[in-house]
Amino acid sequence: MSRSPAWVARARNTASTSTSRPSTCASLECKLGDCSVTTGIRTLRVALHQKRTVYRIIEIESASSLHDLAEAIMASFDFDFEHPFGFYSSDKPDKMRQQQPMYELFADTGQKTDAKSVQNTKVADVFAKAGHAMTLLYDYDAKWLFHVEMTGAGAKAAGKRYPRMAGSKGDAPDQYPDDFDI
């Protein structure tokens, strides 16, 4: 049973698996890597950490929260969105919670953490330049890791709803494989 929002189903029907190109900012500054504008959309390539050939291209409004981004990522991989998560500067699991900046759901639930809020932090504040990447750790027990990299920024397209999956490559893994111990 899939819990994916309607935008994921629409995207699967329209996204190209091999020719998808992320949108880019029309300004020269963005082409040079400075996408500091906070309106419009951000385009992010989200890949499985251990298998980077499996990825999704997500377009999301720049003013959306990191919480919204995490929800869009989980939906694009057909994962339930019911576990804590965080965005980290380090891609090494043993160092993730030692390097700033980091953003965790725990900061929004009143738990003691050195991390910043995912609900109060905008995507544009974290992903300000093309090429900037963070690691999303979803479900601290299962330890799903996703490499999230900003590939561009641009204006919202007329008639499009965000967040949206603009491209996809590879099949999503089972969130709870048969050998997963619950």
CATH of the domain at 12: 3.10.290.30
Burial class (CB in 10 A: 0-12, 13-18, 19+), 26: exposed
In a domain, 79, yes or no: yes
**Strand duo 164-169 + 55-61: pairing:** antiparallel
Give the integer Cα–Cα distance in Å for 65 and 167: 21
164: tokens are: 């949206």
Identify whether 33 is part of a domain.
yes
In a domain, 92, yes or no: no
Choice between 159 and 94, residue whose per-residue pLDDT is larger: 159
Any domain includes 138: yes
Residue 110 region by backbone torsions, left for phi larger than 0, else alpha for psi between -120 and 50, else beta? left
User: Greater confidence, 39 or 54?
Assistant: 54
This prediction has a pTM of 0.79
Residue 37 inside a domain? The answer is yes
Kindly report, residue by residue over 143-158, the tens digit of the pLDDT.
999 999 999 999 999 9
Q: Is residue 115 part of a domain?
A: no
Residue 164 lies in a domain: yes
- Asked, for residue 38, whether it belongs to a domain, the answer is yes
Q: What's the number of domains the chain is made of?
A: 1
pLDDT above 90 covers what percent of the chain? 66
Distances from the Cα of 170 to the Cα of 35, 37, 74, angstroms: 29, 32, 15
pLDDT confidence bin for 11, thresholds 50/70/90: very low
3-state helix, strand, coil in the chain (%, to 5): 20, 25, 55
Domain that holds residue 162: 6-16+25-83+122-169
Tokens of 72: 């869009």
Amino acid code (one letter) for 165 = M
Confidence class for position 139, pLDDT limits 50, 70, 90: very high
Q: Is the pLDDT of residue 16 over 70?
A: no
Query: CA–CA separation, 12 vs 165, rounded Å?
Result: 8
